[in-house]
């Protein structure tokens, strides 16, 4: 009997620096039990977006299960945008910000249960200067950390700590003007986070009001912090202090940094320095299988 369901598994073989054999084995075993027709695509790092897009449009899989980090998940999401296909996520990257936000299990078996399961949400995305952000973008302190981490090819916790100390010594506050439909503000900032989700990959809860499927994004503006507080935030050992935070929930915004360019990152990818950001929510961007909420 030919299975009716068709599922595409996209695996980034190098993400997180870990072997992916277990993921292939589970997918093959599940395809026989459920059953479904399993198609597999391994990323190469070159023209993957086009290749996956071609597979999605010609094969029309019911689901695409992606095993990788935020970079691979974001790429697959772009190929599924505004289609009916469902994305399932197997967290297998070095930075798994989205997976932490969705509270996905770290066990591959359990992540497959969710990825193949029936609880599906239509998640929003945020358009920032024409780029798609699924989880979090920011200007300021964290973006500089992303840049330093990328440039120096640091690895692991010690590498992260080293880059964090360097980042804290280099970083300067900046002035920012923000216009949004409900108002205007001008302030000095350490960091402005554009948050579709609620947490950094470290688990720091930066946006307690945020939901990834509510049709809004939040601007989380943190003002001056001292060295110890900043270090705690970057390492994930505390949540932001609400007294030094301002949170704006909106659907579009225009940010200008009038004095100089400020470091900018989207979903863990450094994007250079910017003086201006145009931000807009894209509602119901992609369908994602996530854990069912607790009753």
Ligand X SMILES: Nc1ncnc2c1ncn2[C@@H]1O[C@H](COP(=O)(O)OP(=O)(O)OP(=O)(O)O)[C@@H](O)[C@H]1O
- Interface residues for ligand X in 217-276 (CB under 6 A)? 268
Strands 262-266, 269-274: pairing kind: antiparallel
Contact present, 225 and 244 (Cβ < 8 Å): yes
Minimal distance in Å, beta carbon 130 to ligand X? 19
Applying CB under 6 A, does 72 fall inside the site for ligand X? yes
Q: Which one of the spans 8-16, 215-223, 227-235, 248-256 is the region binding ligand X (CB under 6 A)?
A: 8-16
- Closer to ligand X by CB, 61 or 93: give it: 93
Q: Which one of the spans 7-15, 161-169, 177-185, 273-281 is the region binding ligand X (CB under 6 A)?
A: 7-15
Compute the Cα dihedral for 200, 206, 209, 210 and give only its sign: negative
Q: How many residues bind ligand X (CB under 6 A)?
A: 17
Applying CB under 6 A, does 117 fall inside the site for ligand X? no
Residues contacting residue 170 through CB under 8 Å, at least 6 positions apart = 144, 148
State the CB neighbour count (10 A cutoff) for residue 148.
Answer: 20
- Closer to ligand X by CB, 96 or 230: give it: 96
Which residue(s) pair with 139 in the sheet? Answer: 192, 264
Applying CB under 6 A, does 137 fall inside the site for ligand X? no
Cα 246 to the chain's mean position, in Å? Answer: 22
Applying CB under 6 A, does 91 fall inside the site for ligand X? no
Dist. CA 14–CA 19, nearest whole Å: 8
Applying CB under 6 A, does 61 fall inside the site for ligand X? no
Applying CB under 6 A, does 13 fall inside the site for ligand X? yes
Applying CB under 6 A, does 79 fall inside the site for ligand X? no
Task: Give ∠ CA 75-81-86 in degrees, rounded to 5.
Answer: 90
Applying CB under 6 A, does 148 fall inside the site for ligand X? no
Alpha helices by DSSP H, listed for the chain, are 21-33, 48-59, 70-80, 97-101, 108-115, 141-151, 156-170, 227-235
Applying CB under 6 A, does 173 fall inside the site for ligand X? no
Rounded to 10 deg, the angle between the 156-170 and 141-151 helix axes is: 130
Applying CB under 6 A, does 16 fall inside the site for ligand X? yes
CA-to-CA dists, residue 86 to 27, 56, 171, 207, 257, angstroms: 16, 11, 40, 26, 38
Q: Which one of the spans 93-101, 238-246, 270-278, 286-294 is the region binding ligand X (CB under 6 A)?
A: 93-101
Minimal distance in Å, beta carbon 289 to ligand X? 18
Q: Which one of the spans 11-19, 111-119, 134-142, 191-199 is the region binding ligand X (CB under 6 A)?
A: 11-19
Minimal distance in Å, beta carbon 184 to ligand X? 35
Contact present, 141 and 230 (Cβ < 8 Å): yes
**One of 88, 91, 93, 210 touching ligand X (CB under 6 A):** 93
Applying CB under 6 A, does 157 fall inside the site for ligand X? no
- Closer to ligand X by CB, 94 or 249: give it: 94
- Closer to ligand X by CB, 20 or 287: give it: 20
If we measure between CA atoms, which residue out of 210, 191, 197 comes closest to residue 248? 210
**One of 15, 99, 148, 207 touching ligand X (CB under 6 A):** 15
Footprint of ligand X on this chain (CB under 6 A)?
Answer: 12-16, 43-45, 68-72, 93-95, 268
């Amino acid at each position: 009997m030919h299975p009716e369901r068709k599922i595409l598994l996209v695996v980034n073989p190098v993400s997180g620096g870990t072997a992916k054999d277990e993921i292939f084995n589970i997918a093959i075993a599940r395809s026989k039990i459920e059953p479904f027709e399993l198609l597999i695509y391994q990323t190469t790092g070159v023209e993957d977006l086009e290749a996956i897009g071609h597979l999605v449009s010609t094969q029309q899989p019911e689901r695409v299960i992606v095993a990788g980090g935020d970079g691979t998940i974001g790429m697959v999401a772009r190929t599924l945008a505004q289609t009916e296909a469902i994305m399932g996520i197997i967290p297998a990257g070095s930075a798994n910000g989205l997976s932490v936000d969705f509270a996905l299990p770290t066990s591959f078996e359990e992540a497959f249960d969710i990825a193949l399961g029936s609880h599906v949400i239509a998640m929003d995305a945020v358009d920032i200067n024409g780029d798609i952000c699924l989880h979090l973008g920011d200007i300021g302190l964290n973006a500089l950390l992303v840049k330093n981490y990328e440039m120096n090819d640091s690895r692991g916790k010690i590498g992260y700590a080293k880059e964090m100390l360097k980042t804290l010594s280099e970083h300067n506050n900046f002035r920012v003007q923000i216009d949004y439909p409900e108002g205007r503000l001008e302030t000095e900032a350490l960091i402005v986070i554009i948050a579709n989700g609620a947490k950094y990959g470290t688990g720091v809860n930066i946006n307690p009001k945020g939901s990834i499927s509510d049709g809004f994004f939040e601007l989380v503006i943190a003002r001056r912090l001292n060295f110890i507080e900043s270090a705690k935030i970057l390492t994930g050992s505390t949540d932001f202090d609400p007294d030094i935070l301002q949170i704006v929930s909106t659907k579009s915004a225009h940010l200008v940094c009038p004095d100089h360019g400020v470091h900018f990152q989207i979903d863990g990818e450094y994007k250079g320095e910017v003086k201006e950001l145009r931000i807009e929510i894209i509602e119901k961007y992609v369908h994602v299988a996530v854990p069912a909420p607790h009753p």
